[in-house]
Amino acid sequence: MAKNRATKSKKTSSRWVCNACGATHSGWYGRCPSCGEWNTIEEEAAPPEGGDRVVLHSTPSHAPRVVASTAAQAEVDGAPRRPCGIGEVDRVLGGGLVPGSVVLLGGPPGIGKSTLLLQASASLARRAGPVLYASGEESVAQVAARAGRLGAAHPGLLLLADTRIEAILAAANERAGELGALVVDSVQTVYAEDQEGLPGNISQIRTVIAQLIGFAKRHGVPVVVVGHVTKEGQLAGPRLLEHLVDTVLSFEGDDDHATRMLRATKNRFGSTQELGVFEMRGDGLREIRNPSEAFLAERQQGAFGSCVTASLEGSRPLLLEIQALLGAAFGNPRRTCVGVDAARVAMLMAVLDRHAGLFVLDQDVFVNVVGGVRLGEPASDLAILLAIASSHMRRPLHPGMVAIAEIGLTGELRQVPRLDA
């Protein structure tokens, strides 16, 4: 007796995935129920239903023999780092690019990410071999013209304009044995042909970065990937992206200053405390080897409301000028702060009012860190407090004074760590 077998048609549906934690939901939520983040749930294509289910069985007799090693027995990879030749970049990386590592560079549009990578790629090509620069946003002619303007044109700088990850990896595989590095600009514009969805969606980014990581590990070639950032300053795409790569770099700055700063928010092969400082010029980025001198170059002597503090960025102390201005308030007093935490400034004003007898709480206060640097450590408390007091009393501070201390709520000065570094 014949049996009829029903054939299931493969249905392609969609699912909703949180790009912060990766949780999958049946519908859209404003706030992810799993991690609590807002506006992180996006729609993506779900795998076809009714497909063949593959069950993996353990076959010990045919499985390869795997032996675990202790940390003491394991052979340490002796492959040296590959310095790119730009001192500020190498400082942040910890001495250069590690073979087989994947670096993610993020920053706002127009900040100079592509400029930095073009200059670094040309410099690396002179030292470590050819560098393949794959652009998904510009044509080869446009990239070549910009490289010529920056003085980065070099025979070892190989240019490719393509948005298919298969084409990029095919070009990289042809020269995998001699490549000094692979640069992809940017991960949001590259897509995999066998993956559904537009470039930049969660599944595409996840697939592209996985293939780039596989290439880097197989051939020992460092890979640098550019990533876009959101309006909130966070890297666009799934949070998993930051966990998969080895190093995450942030290129910071603003349109009002020529200063650009490079930081490492994650670095498996070095410190995350180092800071690279650059100046954006017409012919590209220039290293600032002595940032303190640059930040204090235009400081006015004898001006009230100005105080110098020291901030330790990695192994490098920076001298920075903090400026404060007080004015009569009309209505509720304003606290406008650039480069420092407004809540901390409000606390320091309360300390001044209570313990120093300076009645400043009813005035508008403006505090600024010159140069576009952001201070997050409490070591700058004393300098902020003295700058506010100087502006209020209209008396300048000693031009050679540097103020470093944390201020307690009871008005005491507290020593800051690593003061002798």
> What are the pLDDT tens digits along the chain (421 aa)?
444 444 444 455 778 888 767 778 888 888 888 778 788 888 877 655 544 444 444 445 455 666 676 666 555 455 689 999 999 999 999 999 999 999 999 998 889 999 999 999 999 999 999 999 999 999 999 999 999 999 999 999 999 999 999 999 999 999 999 999 999 998 999 999 998 888 888 888 889 999 999 999 999 999 999 998 776 667 766 677 888 999 999 999 887 788 899 999 999 999 998 999 999 999 999 999 999 999 999 999 899 999 999 998 877 889 999 999 999 888 899 999 999 999 999 999 999 999 999 999 999 999 999 988 889 889 999 999 999 999 999 999 999 999 999 999 999 999 998 777 5
DSSP classification of residue 400:
T
pLDDT score for 69: 65
How far apart CA 332 and CA 335 sit, in angstroms, is 10
Beta-bridge mates of residue 266: 248
| SS3 label, residue 295 | helix
How far apart CA 167 and CA 109 sit, in angstroms, is 26
In a domain, 68, yes or no: no
How far apart CA 316 and CA 378 sit, in angstroms, is 17
**Helix 202-219 vs helix 165-174: crossing angle, to nearest 10:** 10
Q: How many domains does the chain have?
A: 3
In a domain, 57, yes or no: no
345, 400 Cβ separation under 8 angstroms:
no
Residues 388 and 369 in one domain: yes
374, 368 Cβ separation under 8 angstroms:
no
pLDDT score for 51: 46
Residues 251 and 344 in one domain: no
Domain that holds residue 28: 15-44
CATH of the domain at 387: 3.30.230.10
Provide the Cα torsion 227, 233, 236, 239; round to 10°. Answer: 100
Residues 194 and 128 in one domain: yes
In a domain, 21, yes or no: yes
> Which among 289, 312, 339 is the end of a domain?
289
Residues 98 and 208 in one domain: yes
Residues 330 and 235 in one domain: no
How far apart CA 330 and CA 138 sit, in angstroms, is 51
Of 317, 321, 344, the closest CA to residue 419 belongs to: 317
In a domain, 130, yes or no: yes
Q: How would you class 259 by CB atoms within 10 Å of its CB: exposed for 0-12, middle for 13-18, buried for 19 or more?
A: buried
pLDDT score for 55: 44
Contacts of 322 (CB under 8 A, 6+ apart): 306, 307, 308, 309, 340, 367, 368, 369, 370, 375, 380, 383, 384, 387
pLDDT score for 54: 42
Residues 128 and 236 in one domain: yes
| SS3 label, residue 376 | coil
For the entire predicted model, the pTM comes to 0.79
Beta-bridge mates of residue 284: 281
Q: Which helix (H) or strand (E) holds 381?
A: helix 381-393
Of 263, 266, 258, 186, the closest CA to residue 229 belongs to: 186
> Which among 239, 265, 289 is the end of a domain?
289
In a domain, 187, yes or no: yes
How far apart CA 71 and CA 48 sit, in angstroms, is 43
pLDDT score for 79: 63
Edge-to-edge strands, sheet with 24-25: 24-25, 14-18, 41-45
Residues 102 and 187 in one domain: yes
User: Residue ranges of the alpha helices (H) in 195-305?
Assistant: 202-219, 240-244, 291-296
pLDDT score for 372: 82
216, 223 Cβ separation under 8 angstroms:
yes
CATH of the domain at 155: 3.40.50.300
